[in-house]
Structures are given as structure tokens and as C-alpha cells.
Amino acid sequence: MGGKEIIFTSDIDGYYELESSRPQPAKNFIPSWYKDGPMHIIDKDMGDHNPISKLIFPFKTYKVCPSFTEVFNEGYVLVAPCDIWFSLRPEQIQCRPSNEKFRVSLHNNNQYVNYLPKGHNVKYLFSLDTGWKCITPKGYSIRYVPLFYNYNPDWHSPYGVVQTDKLHTLNVQLHFTTDKDEILIKQGEPLCYIIPYKREKYNYKFKKPTPKLRSKIQLAEFKVFSKFKSGYLRNS
């Protein structure tokens, strides 16, 4: 119980019942390379470092890094509502969803791509209406965040922000960077994260270190680094 309520709905009859196309918690889409990797290294992979014991896990990997740990506990993932075929031959750019109820449109390069700075690798920008609506409480928005750790060489969704307490349609922009002539995005394939947040103004200041601030910082470090294994998760 508790917490703010976020509503996902759709004005397409019957679509709401299709679970494979629903937004899902980010933890459902942890990349396989991340899940398959070790939390600690205790063998020759550390090169010249010799492990001192198999009990204390001296060499940690990314899996115990706080910034990685929190990523997959935040927000939701929008997935492709149906199969979508893209033909990217310069002489004729096309896109065709397997279900015509889902609108996919190409933005003319004069609307966006031609204004990007020199050195960018974006060739085309498509917009996909996922068929979902998101209603957040008053004062709350969502961030569209790329799937940073999927390392998709063909396309990605750029960062964006929408006030979903005012505008509810979930449209995903897609940057195409591929050299391939055609791409197929399959139904249920993850597109991007959406992360709800409260719109607030923040003030920041710089403060000279004081005994109270030092104590606060040291306490936090004691909590994280007082265990050989997963101190951040266990003591935070």
C-alpha cells in the first residue's frame, strides 16, 4: 500500500487485455549480459592480482556498484505494440506495422536530423504511438530514457520529458543509426524506459566541510564498505 498511483490505459478496444504489449517494470528487462556476469572475481581474470581468499570476495564487479544496482529498480519499460518493419533504403524509406491501428511515422530530416551537430550518427527519426495512455498525479511527469545497457547498434529512443498529468499519449521517438537496409522490431521488444517523477524546483549551495557534514559522509561510507559482499544493498 502507499505511493502515488500511475494509470496505464488505452482507447483501442481490446488492446488493454494484451499483456505482451503492456508497459512492464524495468526489472523485467535486465540485459542478459548483466544477469550472467559475476558479482565478484576471485580468479585469474584479475591479472596480476592474487586472490587472498574465496571467502571475502576482494575484487568486486559492476554488479555491486550502486549506480548499476538502482537502474533496474526504477520505472517501467515501453515495448513494441506489434511487429514493425522498416525499410531504410535511401531511395524509398518505409515503415509498416503488422497492425494498422498503431501509427508509425517518419519525420522529414528537415524537421530534426539536418539540425543535429556535425559527427552525429542519426539517419532517420521515426515516431511510434504505442497505443498506451499514461495518467500521472497532478505535478508529476515522466522521463523517456534510452535503454543504455542494451547496446543496440541499429536504433535507440532519445531522452525526453512529458507532463503526463496534462498530456497522456505515450509516443516513442526512435533514432535509427543502422547501416542495414531493413529492420524488424518485434512485438514485445523493449523500446525505452519511462520514469515517473515529481516536478519540483531545487536550490543548490556549496558548503564548507563541517564536523557534522564529515560525520554524515563517513557514516554513509561505513554502511556501504563494512561488508565484503553487497554492503550498499544490505546496510543502506
Name the band, by pLDDT with cuts 50, 70 and 90, for residue 48. very low
Q: Return the residue matching grid coordinates 535509427.
A: 176
Convert the pLDDT of each residue in 190-207 to its tens digit.
999 999 999 999 999 999
> Alpha-carbon distance 156 to 78, whole Å?
12
Domain regions of the chain by residue span: 7-11+74-198, 31-71+203-235
Note the CATH architecture for domain 7-11+74-198: Distorted Sandwich (2.70)
Residues in CB range of 156: below 8 A, 6 or more apart: 146, 147, 174, 175, 177, 192
pLDDT at 62: 83
Show the DSSP H helices in 85-185 as ranges: none
**pTM beyond 0.95, yes or no:** no
Encode pLDDT of 93-103 as tens digits.
999 999 999 99
Return the sign of the alpha-carbon dihedral for residues 64, 67, 73, 76: negative
